Amino acid sequence: MKSIALQFGLCAAILLAAGSAHGAVYADFETPHGTFTVELDVLNAPRATANFLGLADGSQTWRDPVTGAVRGGEAGDSSFYDGMRFYATAGQAALLGGLRSYTGTTGTEYWEGPGYTILDEVTNGVDLARGVLAMPEFEGPHSGGGELAVMLTNDAYLGSGWTAFGMVTGAGMAVVDAIVSEVTNADTRVAAQITIRDAGITPQETQALAVARNDLPVMEEMPLGLNREGDGTRTVLFWSLPQSQACLAVSSNLMKDGWSVMPGNWNSDTNQAWMSVPLAYVPGLVDGLGFLYGSQAVYPKMTASLFSDKCRIAVAHTGVDYQYWLDFAGGTGIWARVEDGAPVESGSISSLGQELARANSVHLVLVIGLNAYHYWFGFDEAGTSDGRFYCEIRYLNSPPPTATDSGTFIYEDGWGAKVPAMKNRRRSSRTKTAARAPADRKSTLLLNNEWPAPRRLRR
């Protein structure tokens, strides 16, 4: 986009709706209600734009949620957005689409992304106004990948930051509103076909996209092997590339059953890792017999790592600061509410756990009284000690959340003195409960190193 300094506020929405005289990259969404066009914001959100373009033209690799197979790539033979549909709204805030669906054995419809997530660009200064095309994030920083959202209101509360990377042009929002009406009133899915148009992309934009593509994850097939150990235990071996998340697809009967796709272990190291899993631990195999397929999402930038056994975390919630002293080795902790750098209220944490949620975020669960605090801490760069968080408070640790919030945090190793106060740091101004849709695409919490139980068995 040539208007680099233009911010997507209400004024920007009006200006862009009138059309731009400059060249740009456009995405046309052809639907039964007509076609609406999005001007992509290459310079302010190059990573989100490059990811969208790659998933649209098939050049970006992705994992099929039905079979676990790696698809797409340089040949561009398979686009993630082939057969794309708009399927839900996030309250009154946005129209959602882009994820791929499948039906489980119970008849439940599920929605999945491309098998990876990307580093977001929430801090690019572009506001979420009506008409903006955004990458949604329902589980904290850096949790988006393939889902798309067209904003319906200005400055809506979304619970977690969303990356704005385009704007609907002309009278396109009339088409969007018609899609929203059908999705909400008729409870149907609206198909859309995406066509990309280059209307004179500049050398600066071309360079920005080239750099951004190097930051995107790559889906690759993962070599598998079988082994019988001395005690008769049979194991499956796989070789996980540096900074990757392994995935096994399992079928016990190709003629009858479908595949169960199970994302599993992370290799956060910078070296290739050899791993072994007893077949008895792999869900979906009958008496150790079946079919296996391996894939892995490989990340060029894996910015997150688990917190140390003893650490201190200060978080800036809306209007209030908290500090946590955590002992993962002992399974205990202390919390304190802080005003002007001094604790004014404190208590104990009855239990806690953490997982490497994604390549760029850590999921931390703190149980305090009858409430469980689920934090997703995002790291924009590797080795940093601060970042952004999203929090859900769940009564008796059961969804849906009773409250949500987002803000900033600081992390330090060890116990020692208190964490630096969060005063004057940027913090969230949100207090409402976040809209979440669709509900059946939540990831499985892994607080151990074992493969999860199968989340999705196909017919």
Residue environment code for 24-49, b if the CB has 16+ CB neighbours within 10 A, otherwise e: bbbbebebebeebbbbbbbbbbbbbb
CATH of the domain at 51: 2.40.100.10
Q: How confident is the model at residue 2 (pLDDT cuts 50, 70, 90)?
A: very low
44 and 113 fall within a common domain: yes
Which range has the worst mean pLDDT, 62-66, 263-267, 419-423? 419-423
Dump the DSSP string for 85-130: EEEEEETTTEEEE--EEEEBTTS-EEEE-SS------GGGS----T
CA distance 79 to 353: 38
pLDDT band at 421 (very low <50, low <70, confident <90, very high): low
Other residues' Cβ atoms within 10 Å of the Cβ of residue 332: 14
Above 50 in pLDDT, residue 48? yes
Residues 69 and 105 in one domain: yes
CA 69 to chain centre: 20
Report the share of the chain in percent with pLDDT over 90.
Answer: 66
Cis peptide before 401 (omega within 30 of 0): no
Q: Using CA atoms, how far apart are residues 361 and 201, in angstroms rounded to an integer?
A: 33
> How many domains are contained in the chain?
3
In this prediction the pTM is 0.86
Q: Are residues 173 and 77 in the same domain?
A: yes
Stretch 363-369: mean pLDDT, rounded?
A: 96
Those residues whose C-beta lies under 8 Å from the C-beta of residue 310, and which sit 6 or more positions away, are 326, 327, 328, 329, 413, 414, 415
- Inform me whether the pLDDT recorded for 377 exceeds 80: yes
435 within some domain: no
- Cα 146 to Cα 55, 117, 382: the distances in Å are 8, 8, 23
- The predicted pLDDT at position 285 comes to 82
Helix (H, G, I), strand (E, B) or coil at 172: helix
Domain termination site, one of 244, 265, 298 = 298
Query: Are residues 27 and 165 both part of a single domain?
Result: yes
Does residue 34 sit within a domain?
yes
184 and 64 both lie in a single domain? yes
Q: pLDDT band at residue 75, thresholds of 50, 70 and 90?
A: low
Confidence of residue 444 (pLDDT cuts 50, 70, 90): very low
Calculate the average pLDDT of the chain. 84
Above 50 in pLDDT, residue 9? Answer: no
**pLDDT tens per residue, range 239-278:** 999 999 999 999 988 887 788 898 988 999 999 999 888 8
Q: How far apart are CA 385 and CA 362, in angstroms?
A: 13
CATH of the domain at 381: 2.40.128
Would you say residue 57 has pLDDT above 60? yes
Domain identity same for 78 and 197: yes
Do residues 253 and 169 both lie within one domain?
no
Residue 150 inside a domain? The answer is: yes
Same domain, 19 and 84: yes
The sheet carrying 371-378 orders its strands as 342-349, 332-339, 320-327, 310-317, 403-413, 386-395, 371-378, 361-368, 351-358
**In the structure, what pLDDT confidence band is assigned to residue 445 with cuts at 50, 70 and 90?**
very low
Cβ within 8 Å of residue 54, ≥6 positions away: 60, 72, 213, 216
d(CA 383, CA 198): 38
Are 294 and 340 within one domain? no
Number of Cβ within 10 Å of residue 319's Cβ equals: 11
Predicted confidence (pLDDT) at residue 154 exceeds the cutoff of 70: yes
Tens digits of residue pLDDT in 187-215:
889 999 999 999 888 999 999 999 999 99
Is position 449 within any domain? no
pLDDT band at 425 (very low <50, low <70, confident <90, very high): very low
Q: Are 333 and 352 in contact (CB under 8 A)?
A: yes
Tens digits of residue pLDDT in 324-351: 999 999 999 999 998 887 889 999 999 9
pLDDT confidence tier of residue 418, bands split at 50, 70 and 90: low
User: Which pLDDT score is estimated for 451?
Assistant: 38
Last residue in a domain, options 217, 232, 258: 217
Does residue 453 form part of some domain? Answer: no
Per-residue pLDDT at 105 exceeds 70:
no
Which uninterrupted H or E stretch holds 16? helix 10-17
375 in Cβ contact with 368 (< 8 Å): no
Is residue 144, in this structure, part of any structural domain at all? yes
For residue 424, pLDDT over 80 is answered with no
Q: Same domain for 290 and 314?
A: no
- For residues 238 and 264, give the distance between their C-alpha atoms in angstroms, rounded to a whole number: 12
Q: What is the spatial order of strands in the sheet that 218-221 belongs to?
A: 218-221, 291-298, 244-251, 260-267
Considering the domain boundaries, does residue 211 fall inside one? yes
Q: Looking at this protein, which amino acid is placed at residue 229?
A: E
- pLDDT of 4 > 70? The answer is no
If asked whether residues 230 and 366 sit together in one domain, one would say no
Same domain, 70 and 154: yes
- Domain range enclosing 255: 219-298
Which two structure tokens, joined as six digits, stand for 250? 């399992």
Q: Residue 72 above 60 pLDDT?
A: yes
Backbone torsion region of residue 279, taken as left when φ is above 0, otherwise alpha when ψ lies between -120 and 50, otherwise beta? alpha
C-beta of residue 222 within 8 angstroms of C-beta of residue 46: no
Helix (H, G, I), strand (E, B), or coil: what is residue 201?
Answer: coil
> Which of these three, 238, 269, 298, is where a domain ends?
298
Q: What is the pLDDT of residues 269-318, one digit of tens each?
A: 999 999 888 888 888 887 778 899 999 999 999 999 999 999 999 999 98
Could you tell me if 40 and 52 are in contact, meaning their C-beta atoms sit under 8 angstroms apart? yes
Of the pLDDT bands very low, low, confident and very high (cuts 50, 70, 90), residue 417 is low
User: pLDDT tens across 219-231, in order?
Assistant: 999 999 988 887 7
The answer to the question of residue 277 being in a domain is yes
